[in-house]
A = this chain, B = another copy of it.
């Protein structure tokens, strides 16, 4: 039950591109250095992102990566699923499965519900939202404002 490092690094990386401004071409090397992400690993991650069309790559001298869309058009769900594949809480929710309980299993519905919730959260938060929510450097970073604000009770 975790977002993998790859997924997290992907969002962090794209966020870096977004902060550098629209259409700016930035090298893997800079993103890696500034965001403290292993370069080779980040390179692989950006490959997925490029294949998913979230980012455009240019080779050669002055090459690098640039966002393919507006930051407000890229949701964290796009990013995470481009890297990790579709979010699925259980095998029955991602492919027609041969699970022995499939007929009338009460759990499917529950897992589907949970899954929908997290996809919702991720799909309504864009890179632009994350940029805005960037807190200075201290204070609990707990106050994130997605486009459609949810109650989100404080204590878990």
Contact = CB atoms under 8 A, between A and B. Distances in A.
B1 A87 contact: yes
Contacts of A87: 1
A52 interface: no
B113 A144 contact: yes
Interface stretch (A20-28, A43-51, A54-62, A118-126): A118-126
A90 to B, nearest CB: 6
B121 A114 contact: yes
Contacts of A109: 133, 141-144
Interface string A96-130: 00001101111111111111111111100100001
A15 interface: yes
Given A117-B117, A121-B117, A1 B88 contact: yes
Contacts of A136: 104
Interface of A: 1-3, 8, 11-12, 15, 35-36, 76, 84, 87-91, 100-101, 103-122, 125, 130-131, 133-139, 141-144, 146, 150, 152-153, 156
